[in-house]
Structure 1
């Protein structure tokens, strides 16, 4: 028998530079007439649409 060929390794796509691969980013919470920032909450990363992968790589 012939020797088996190793399957080519699939490379992992790069992480999103904005959210660092998490898919979420901190979004400031504003309150009152002066719209002052009172805290932050988790928001959806608009660069990768929550997938955590870099959309610029092909």
Structure 2
């Protein structure tokens, strides 16, 4: 999952910082990537925004 964010200064609306980070679920016992557990999907998918639609 990719997470993007922007910090905006309240007093003048200027963008102070834009960032992006990539999240990957890892199986701790093997160190290999795995599918995101349902609990994560339930928490994160409610706030997913289509990047192209937001542009």
Q: Tell me the TM-score normalised to structure 1 length.
A: 0.28
Larger strand fraction of residues: 2
> Which of these two proteins has the greater Rg computed from alpha carbons?
1
Choose between structure 1 and 2 for higher RCO, CA contacts under 8 A separated by at least 6 residues. Answer: 1
Larger helix fraction of residues: 2
Q: Tell me the TM-score normalised to structure 2 length.
A: 0.29
